[in-house]
């Protein structure tokens, strides 16, 4: 009994512009060109605007795409290289477009903040292109399962990054909500002369009390917190009631608004 040959990923050696690909034993056979020739697929007018590209079709496209990359690496003339490069990107784009609904499904089910959806969709298109290039169609894994898992993980990382940067990077204090951090707000970039909010959260800054700093940090996901915490969670950690946490939060936000709107008068009062 012969062992199955495990495909090996080959990376570009001659040029950084050549994509990585999955090397398969069939690429070196005499019948490879007839088996993987993408001409017929690229000439097809079939699209999948109203439905997903079937996994079997995606897998077949991916095999031909990797074969095109293999021929790119073996090309001996610029014309041959351009020919297979066109075939590679044509197949890759068909797979991306045929499976782009996976992006909307992942964003719709995983995104809690609606006003981030457009940013997430744009970033996820880049992720999907990377997923298509890395997908190994000979392992028997469904592309939809593999891609959706990658998209969900990417969304988790992207939403965490946005959440952690959300307040300290670009949110004006007059637009800061008194309620839940996820509620809609009016996004206005800080002026060049404004002081970063996290400056007031330093341990030695006298504006806020230690309790106020802890609550603001936990409620608005600052300083690498795992996520913006609810009033109940913050209260349980500090031994306070939900209403008391809300009051302390409101007091801290009021101080921050005042100092950013008129730092001179606040400094004079203190």
Q: What is the tens place of the pLDDT at every residue in 117-126? A: 777 888 899 9
Q: Looking at domain 8-165, which of 1.10.1660, 1.20.120, 3.40.50, 1.10.10 is its CATH number?
A: 1.20.120
Topology classification of domain 171-269: Arc Repressor Mutant, subunit A (1.10.10)
Contact yes or no for 155/128 (Cβ under 8 A): no
CA distance 36 to 136: 15
3-state secondary structure (DSSP) of residue 74: helix
Cβ neighbours, 10 Å, residue 189: 10
40-98 confidence digits (pLDDT tens): 677 665 666 667 889 999 999 999 999 999 999 999 999 999 999 999 999 999 999 99
Write phi, then psi, for 160 (nearest 5 degrees).
Answer: -65, -40
Q: Which among 157, 137, 138, 161 is positioned nearest to 147, based on CA atoms?
A: 137
Q: Is the pTM of this model over 0.85?
A: no
| Rounded Cα gap, residues 138 and 53, in angstroms | 18
Q: How far apart are CA 205 and CA 101, in angstroms?
A: 49
The structural domains of the chain, with segments of one domain joined by +, span 8-165, 171-269
């Amino acid at each position: 009994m012969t062992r199955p040959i495990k495909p090996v990923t080959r990376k570009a050696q001659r040029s950084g512009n050549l994509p990585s690909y999955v090397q398969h034993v069939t690429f070196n056979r005499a019948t490879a060109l007839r088996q993987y020739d993408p001409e017929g697929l690229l000439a097809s007018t079939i699209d999948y605007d109203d439905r997903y590209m079937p996994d079997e079709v995606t897998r077949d496209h991916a095999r031909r795409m990797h074969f095109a990359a293999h021929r790119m690496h073996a090309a001996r003339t610029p014309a041959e290289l351009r020919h297979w490069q066109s075939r590679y990107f044509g197949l890759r784009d068909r797979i991306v477009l045929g499976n782009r609904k996976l992006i909307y499904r992942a964003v719709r089910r995983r995104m809690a903040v609606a006003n981030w959806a457009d940013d997430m969709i744009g970033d996820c298109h880049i992720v999907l292109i990377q997923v298509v290039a890395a997908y190994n169609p000979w392992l028997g894994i469904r592309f939809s399962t593999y891609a959706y898992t990658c998209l969900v993980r990417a969304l988790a990382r992207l939403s965490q990054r946005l959440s952690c940067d959300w307040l300290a990077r670009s949110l004006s204090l007059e637009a800061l909500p008194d309620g839940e951090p996820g509620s809609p707000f009016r996004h206005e970039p800080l002026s060049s002369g404004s002081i970063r909010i996290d400056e007031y959260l330093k341990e030695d800054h006298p504006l806020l009390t230690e309790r106020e700093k802890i609550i603001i940090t936990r409620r608005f996901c600052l300083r690498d917190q795992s996520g913006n915490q609810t009033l109940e969670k913050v209260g349980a950690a500090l031994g306070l009631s939900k209403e008391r946490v809300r009051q302390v939060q409101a007091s801290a936000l009021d101080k921050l608004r005042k100092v950013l709107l008129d730092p001179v008068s606040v400094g004079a009062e203190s």
